[in-house]
Structures are given as structure tokens and as C-alpha cells.
């Protein structure tokens, strides 16, 4: 069953949730260190990750799926969160320079359509960061975190979906190498677990984080209408 917004919020207030936030934020911060002047969209449950960019973008929207529910974000100031249907996004084409997707793709009923909708809202040359449960990791097999619900993906499966949606993978990494248990979520040991996992079991992280860029694709089979110059015959 898909975790709702209350369960997600409660999880990120636990030690395990804090470890999740720290590990993924570290990766996202290295990927997108500065979003000043950008138009940014978060799809899914991004409340726990968006604080590091809160003051940077020109426009920042935290859109949450209808089945998941919505919460006010940020806690103070103007509300920047909204409720959406992930298969019919209410945004114009080429609206955003960056889109973050977390706690979303693994739960939608039609992943291909969702990514097509996301690509439509992404500006030409814009970039998407996708965070999903890793099929090879321990977190996708545990119900103690939101990543143990919905579909888990391999790198190959994710690449296929992205390419079908007109997205070209540009970077990939993994996070959450420690087992999903509070005993491993001690603040002093989180970084050590991540570094150890990166060295000794780099293909078994709990989540996949893939960045992809929107590319313009032309179907060679599509009919193209071209003007033809036909001079008038001499009278």
C-alpha cells in the first residue's frame, strides 16, 4: 500500500528518516549545488529534501500526488505545495529547469506516462533527478521505510523508461548502504557507512539516484511536409 503524506512525514522524523535525508541530500547537493534563478519542481514527497534549496530558485513548487495527499510546505511563509494528478500534470510545456522526483515513480499506475508528462513540463536542456528504490538493495525488501513499498528498479529498467520518455541519463549514483534499521542510523556512523558501501559494495545501495537531461528527438518515420517550388511554365 502506498504510504500517505502523514506516514512519510512521520518517517522523516525518525532516526532512520534522518539518515535517509542526510544521505540523499549529500548526493543531491553534489549534483545540483546551486539552483539560483532556476524554476524548480518537486514531484512526490520532497518536503524533507527541499530545505537546502529553499531560498535559491526563482520559483519552487512542491507537488504531491493526489493518492498520497498534501501537506503545507514550507511550515511558515507563503505555501509552495500543491496537489496534482501525476498522470495529468497541470503545468505548461517547458515550465521547469530542474525537476526532482522522489517517493513517486515507484507508486504511479503508469510509469511511462508519468515520465512523459514530466518530460513535457521540463524545459529543453533541463534536468531531472529521479530517486527510486533499488532492486538490489536491502531497503526495497524492508517495510520499515517508504522505499519498501511499490516497485523497485534496476539501472537497466530505469534506463529503458527514461529513454522512452525522451530523457538521456547524464549521471547516476546510489545511497543508503547501511541496512534499514535504527541501530545503523547513529549520527556518528552514517557517513562511515556510506563511504564503506561506496568502496566495498558499490552496487547494493538502497536507492538509485539518476540524473537525466531532456533531449529533442525526431522520429525518422514521421511524415514531414516540405514546401516545393513549382515555377509557372512560360505562356
Contact 64, 103 (CB under 8 A): no
- pTM as predicted: 0.88
Domain assignment present for residue 110? The answer is yes
Domain assignment present for residue 50? The answer is yes
Domain assignment present for residue 96? The answer is yes
CATH number of the domain encompassing residue 96? 3.40.50.150
Query: Residue-wise pLDDT tens for the chain (235 aa)?
Result: 678 999 999 999 999 999 999 999 999 999 999 999 999 999 999 999 998 998 899 999 999 999 999 999 998 889 999 999 999 999 999 999 999 999 999 999 999 999 999 999 999 999 999 999 999 999 999 988 999 999 999 999 999 999 999 999 999 999 999 888 887 777 777 888 888 888 888 889 999 999 999 986 555 455 655 665 555 666 5
Residue whose C-alpha cell is 556512523? 189
Burial (Cβ within 10 Å: 0-12, 13-18, ≥19) of residue 223: exposed
Domain assignment present for residue 225? The answer is no
Contact 68, 2 (CB under 8 A): yes
**Residue 30, domain extent:** 5-214
How far does CA 173 lie from the centroid of its chain? 13
Eight-class DSSP state of 121: H
How far does CA 219 lie from the centroid of its chain? 27
Domain assignment present for residue 227? The answer is no
3-state secondary structure of 210: strand
Amino acid at each position: 500500500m502506498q504510504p500517505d503524506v502523514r506516514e512519510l512525514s512521520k518517517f522523516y522524523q525518525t532516526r532512520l528518516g534522518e539518515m535517509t535525508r542526510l544521505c540523499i541530500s549529500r548526493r543531491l547537493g553534489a549534483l545540483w549545488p546551486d539552483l539560483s534563478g532556476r524554476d524548480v519542481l518537486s514531484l512526490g514527497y520532497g518536503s524533507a529534501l527541499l530545505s537546502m534549496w529553499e531560498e535559491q530558485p526563482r520559483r519552487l513548487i512542491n507537488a504531491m500526488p493526489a493518492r498520497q495527499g498534501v501537506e503545507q510546505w514550507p511550515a511558515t511563509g507563503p505555501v509552495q505545495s500543491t496537489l496534482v494528478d501525476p498522470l495529468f500534470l497541470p503545468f505548461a510545456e517547458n515550465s521547469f529547469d530542474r525537476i526532482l522526483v522522489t517517493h513517486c515513480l515507484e507508486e504511479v499506475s503508469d510509469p511511462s506516462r508519468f515520465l512523459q508528462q514530466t518530460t513535457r513540463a521540463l524545459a529543453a536542456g533541463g534536468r531531472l533527478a529521479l530517486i527510486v528504490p533499488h532492486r538490489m538493495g536491502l531497503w526495497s525488501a524492508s517495510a520499515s521505510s517508504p522505499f519498501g513499498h511499490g516497485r523497485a528498479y534496476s539501472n537497466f529498467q530505469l534506463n529503458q523508461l527514461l529513454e522512452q520518455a525522451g530523457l538521456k541519463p547524464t549521471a547516476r549514483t546510489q545511497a543508503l548502504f547501511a541496512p534499514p534499521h535504527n541501530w545503523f542510523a547513529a549520527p556518528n556512523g552514517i557517513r562511515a557507512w556510506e563511504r564503506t558501501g561506496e568502496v566495498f559494495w558499490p552496487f547494493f545501495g538502497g536507492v538509485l539516484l539518476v540524473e537525466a537531461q531532456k533531449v529533442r528527438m525526431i522520429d525518422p518515420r514521421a511524415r514531414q511536409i516540405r514546401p516545393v517550388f513549382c515555377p509557372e511554365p512560360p505562356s
